[in-house]
């Protein structure tokens, strides 16, 4: 087996997608599971290309006899190391491939005092992350459709659509809430998600990305602003769309309460794993960009 850095080629991007799909498939589906919707496939390939272009030393692939068997994508943003994707083909699991990939990706995080990732419920993943020094915070997932009767009067905090001219504001909120800006990741999110919402008042600021029924990232300088942004994002989901809000630790009770207002269901998911920091709050992380 060899482990090498990913290259910015269509073949490597496709290999990341196919390993990831096979690793995360629901065993009940059999085979490699259903292919992703075309828009989702485009987004996933673009996410890999984005990671390789901006963080190539953090992006690794394991190959056995020329076939991709495992991948790890990681990035660094202002002293914060982030693991964006970690997957090994089912047929190659439990043979140490994940450990080697995580060690390689981890060397890219040397010198970063802080680290963060969204972990799946996989016991193997949890073992790897704890062994790598991460603190595991169990997370909640909110799902369902929005009961519009539960949407509360917006009150006096204005929310408006955002665009690339808000980049400084976004990075400032990121630095305040999670200790590092998303930087170039905002370019990706602006290009690939349906909408960016901004709240910017004398009392505080925040932003939220949403696409379809999914809330992709939310950061704000107060719970009041965060709550307002989440209510607005949910109000803007298409009628009947399946809502998914992932990776909520107990720190995000404000978000859980908004979800309950509009009839969403709670379930337990994986973990938010952090090293050298507390879970950011008020904050809804993006599993790919955290």
Ligand X SMILES: CC(C)(COP(=O)(O)OP(=O)(O)OC[C@H]1O[C@@H](n2cnc3c(N)ncnc32)[C@H](O)[C@@H]1OP(=O)(O)O)[C@@H](O)C(=O)NCCC(=O)NCCS
CB of 186 vs ligand X, minimal distance in Å = 23
CB of 100 vs ligand X, minimal distance in Å = 7
CB of 92 vs ligand X, minimal distance in Å = 6
Please, which residues have CB within 8 angstroms of residue 253's CB and are 6 or more apart in sequence?
none
Q: How far apart are CA 130 and CA 127, in angstroms?
A: 5
Crossing angle of the two packed helices 253-261 and 223-235, in degrees rounded to 10 = 30
Residue 35 or 96 having the CB closest to ligand X: 96
Computed over its alpha carbons, how large is the radius of gyration of the chain? 19
CB of 163 vs ligand X, minimal distance in Å = 32
CB of 196 vs ligand X, minimal distance in Å = 26
Residue 68 or 220 having the CB closest to ligand X: 68
Residue 125 or 146 having the CB closest to ligand X: 125
Residue 23 or 142 having the CB closest to ligand X: 23
Residues that bind ligand X (CB under 6 A): 23-24, 86-88, 93-99, 119-120, 122-125, 127-128
Of 35, 63, 44, 280, the closest CA to residue 181 belongs to: 280
Which ranges constitute the DSSP H helices of 110-249?
123-131, 167-178, 184-192, 223-235
Structure tokens at 224: 């009041």
Count the Cβ atoms, other than its own, within 10 Å of residue 45. Answer: 16
Residue closest to ligand X, measured at CB:
98
Residue 87 or 225 having the CB closest to ligand X: 87
């Amino acid at each position: 087996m060899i482990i090498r850095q990913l290259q910015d080629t269509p073949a490597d991007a496709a290999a990341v997608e196919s390993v990831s799909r096979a690793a995360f498939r629901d065993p009940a589906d059999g085979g490699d599971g259903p292919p992703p919707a075309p828009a989702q496939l485009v987004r996933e390939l673009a996410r890999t290309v984005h990671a390789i272009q901006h963080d190539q030393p953090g992006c690794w692939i394991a190959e056995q006899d020329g076939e991709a068997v495992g991948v790890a994508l990681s990035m660094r943003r202002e002293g914060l190391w982030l693991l964006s994707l970690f997957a090994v083909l089912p047929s190659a699991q439990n043979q140490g491939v994940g450990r080697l990939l995580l060690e390689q990706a981890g060397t890219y995080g040397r010198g970063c005092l802080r680290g963060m990732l969204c972990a799946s419920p996989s016991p193997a993943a949890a073992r790897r992350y704890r062994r790598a020094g991460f603190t595991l915070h169990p997370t909640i997932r909110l799902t369902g459709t929005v009961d519009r009767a539960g949407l509360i009067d917006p009150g006096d905090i204005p929310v408006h659509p955002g665009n690339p001219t808000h980049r400084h504001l976004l990075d400032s909120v990121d630095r305040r809430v999670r200790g590092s800006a998303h930087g170039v990741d905002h370019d990706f999110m602006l290009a690939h998600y349906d909408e960016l919402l901004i709240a910017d008042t004398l009392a505080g600021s925040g932003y939220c990305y949403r696409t379809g029924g999914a809330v992709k990232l939310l950061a704000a300088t107060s719970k009041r602003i965060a709550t307002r942004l989440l209510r607005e994002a949910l109000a803007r989901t298409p009628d009947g769309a399946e809502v998914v809000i992932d990776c909520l630790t107990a720190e995000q009770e404000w978000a859980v309460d908004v979800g309950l207002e509009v009839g969403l269901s709670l379930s337990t998911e994986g973990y938010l794993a952090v090293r050298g920091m507390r879970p950011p709050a008020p904050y809804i992380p993006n599993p790919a960009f955290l």
